[in-house]
Structure 1
Amino acid sequence: MSNERLRAAIAARGWTHAILAEATNVDPKSVERWVNLGRVPRRQTAIQAADCLGEDLHALWPELRQTRAARAVSPELVALYGQRADVAPSMFVDLFARAHERIDILVYAAVFLHEAYPRLNTLLVERAAAGCTVRIAVGDADSANVQQRGREEKFGHGIESRCRLALLHFQALHATPGIEIRTHSTTLYNSVYRGDDEMMVNAHVWGTNAYAAPVWHLRRIVDGGLFDTYADSFDAVWQTGRPVKG
């Protein structure tokens, strides 16, 4: 069985089997077996390969996970995290920084992004200036669905305040060419963070704050797959959104 996650990681970096082989000091035929036959390299070699590719070791080779293992149910699933708190904020930032065509953000608030990376707005402006289309959808603090979420999570009016704070952070970008901001009133089943063909999906759980809910790291490799399901969901919510004015 082939290792599609490894194949996609090599392609995303613009490498060949020979380049990865040289970087890890193995024979190119070994890399071919990793990719085409699903062979698992020795742990130290796998660690070196994952580091060279900038990927998570256990996302490339789940078999090497020594603790709680994530099972891939789709070749597009790069990694599954038990809760958002397990995901370093830099992973979201890097996702956006690598984007060349599209950045989509669908949240109620997600103020952790600005709190962890104060240069987020600057990064989004830079990506837009480079030709990237940026769409940001945040929750309407006055909507019944946002307020209901606060009651469900026993967060009360806190979530409404965080929606307003998120809008305050992003509103400074409203006049930037290539960047559009909207508010939405939908029941948010998942928060979506997309950079081109990579996506982090924070799956929401009733009564649980987003930071304690699972995150899927997806990479698009097939048409109509899991990635496209969430991308289409973003588009549907986006159509319901209300553009933010200055």
Structure 2
Amino acid sequence: MSPEDVVPNERLRDAMLRNRLTPTDLAEVAGVDPKTAERWITQDRIPYPRYRHALADRLGESQSYLWPQVVSTGRAAEASQSELVQLYPRRSMVPIDLWKRLLTGASKQISILVYAGLFLPEQHPRLVEILTERTRAGATLKILVGDPASVGVATRGADEGIGDAIPAKINNVLAWYEKLRGVERATVALHSTTLYNSIYRFDDEMLVNTHVYGNPAAHAPTLHLRRLSGGDLFDLYVESFDRVWSKAKPLWQITEDPADRG
């Protein structure tokens, strides 16, 4: 193999950096020589199946994300179907107890992508308190709200026949989230994208509220997903959230926990 043919595994490298791990750390997780772990990164060598599960679990990623070439099309389709826990015909049919379990149980990350999502604080009066508790327990909180002055928000209001109601809802929900300012590992940002789905992620579970033209989000179907190794449906929505996040304008920056440094 010539040097030109060697392609590093950038996904694996990035996951290591985010988790502050070295090749030696990976080697210890799998019980292999550090040189072997180095080849997984620099030469995109694929670990044996008995190692991949432990590595993916330690890195907090799916095997299909870290090594997409090992998952066959048929198996990926089956795994993705299994990631669908429940389909609710309307978001309003999602049990309040499920929302509560997901909100209070997240320990790593909570990611929310909406235009307004005012129903959340209305449905859970302790929402800000719960989110603050989760960040203190170590979770990273990212909330994406529609820019009330954006074309996307105006179009959504026109499509639903409710005029300027959505910007008003956004301003109301931002008043709630203002209480999160200064909370470690928490930020709220404004986006100007056209939303095809609202996304609510809680660690490795997610609620995806589809958007239907001319109908409010509460009346549209909602998917309850749970990430599985080998599936790609959950990760599809994670990537969608990340793309919107990369273009958003934070109202304030995430505050780093001093204990996380070094």
For normalisation by structure 2, the TM-score amounts to 0.64
Quick one: which of 128, 134, 155 aligns to 1:148? 155
Q: Which residue pairs with 1:121 in the alignment? A: 128
Structure of higher RCO (CA pairs closer than 8 Å, 6+ residues apart): 2
Shift of 1:205: 0.6
The secondary structure found in structure 2 opposite 1:108 is coil
Where do 5+ consecutive residues of structure 2 fail to align? Answer: 1-78, 254-262
Root-mean-square deviation over aligned CA pairs = 1.6
d(CA) in 1 for partners of 2:227, 2:80: 14
The secondary structure found in structure 2 opposite 1:74 is helix
Structure 2 residue 184 is the aligned partner of structure 1 residue 177 = yes
d(CA) in 2 for partners of 1:133, 1:209: 29
Structure 2 residue 205 is the aligned partner of structure 1 residue 186 = no
Q: Which residue pairs with 1:231 in the alignment? A: 238
Shift of 1:88: 2.2
Alignment of 1:77-226 (within 5 A): 77-223=84-230, 225-226=232-233
Cα contact 1:83–1:213 (8 A) shared by 2: yes
Which range is displaced more, 116-125 or 84-93? 84-93
Q: 1:167/1:223 Cα in 2 relative to 1: closer, same or farther (>3 Å)?
A: farther
Amino acid at match of 1:209: P
Shift of 1:224: 5.3
The secondary structure found in structure 2 opposite 1:177 is coil
Where do 5+ consecutive residues of structure 1 fail to align? Answer: 1-71
Greater helix fraction, Structure 1 or Structure 2: 2
Cα contact 2:190–2:249 (8 A) shared by 1: yes
Cα contact 1:105–1:136 (8 A) shared by 2: yes
Amino acid at match of 2:102: L
* Percentage identity across paired residues of the two chains: 45
Cα contact 1:113–1:120 (8 A) shared by 2: yes
Alignment of 1:62-77 (within 5 A): 74-77=81-84
Cα distance per residue 1:83-127 (max 9 Å; x no partner):
111112332232121111111011111111111111000000000
Cα distance per residue 1:155-212 (max 9 Å; x no partner):
1100111111111111210210111110101001100011100000000011110000
d(CA) in 2 for partners of 1:80, 1:155: 27
d(CA) in 1 for partners of 2:166, 2:229: 36
d(CA) in 2 for partners of 1:132, 1:73: 26
Cα distance per residue 1:44-65 (max 9 Å; x no partner):
xxxxxxxxxxxxxxxxxxxxxx
For normalisation by structure 1, the TM-score amounts to 0.69
Cα contact 1:92–1:193 (8 A) shared by 2: no
d(CA) in 1 for partners of 2:111, 2:194: 18
Q: Which residue pairs with 1:48 in the alignment? A: none
